[in-house]
Amino acid sequence: MTPGVELDAAALATVVTALPQVAGLHSGRFGEIATLLPGRRVPGVRIRPWEITIGVTGRHPATIAEIGAAVRAAVGLIDRPVHIHIGDFAAPTATPVAATIEELP
């Protein structure tokens, strides 16, 4: 279990994944960004007594600055530093070829 966890890691994960700039949570290269709770693990949110780290996969075309600002705003004021780790970017959604062919004159 992660010691000193008073904040709700699952609630933070829900708030962050609802952002349009975020494609999902990212637990880091080795899965180190996570909170361990009794019987479960919350990947992408690491709560420690002295800091919080939130790992995300960004959504194109958002910039790193936009993603960081959106995550910080969504998390709100917390009594410890919040670090944002952007571990990856989701590729833009491609337009289906059939849709472009139908649009031709």
pLDDT tens-digit profile of 68-103?
999 999 999 888 999 999 999 998 876 555 555 555
Partners of 53 in beta bridges: 46, 83
* Residue 32 pLDDT: 96
pLDDT at 92: 81
CA 17 to chain CA mean position, Å: 6
Q: What is the pTM of this model?
A: 0.80
Delimit the domains of the chain by residue range. 9-102
The whole-angstrom separation of Cα 46 and Cα 25 is: 11
Q: Which CATH number fits domain 9-102: 3.30.70, 3.40.50, 3.30.1150, 2.30.230?
A: 3.30.70
Residue 65's pLDDT is 97
pLDDT (0 to 100) of residue 102: 56
Min mean pLDDT across 2-11, 17-26, 31-40 is at 2-11
Residue 46 forms beta bridges with which residues? Answer: 53
Q: Indicate the DSSP class of residue 64.
A: H
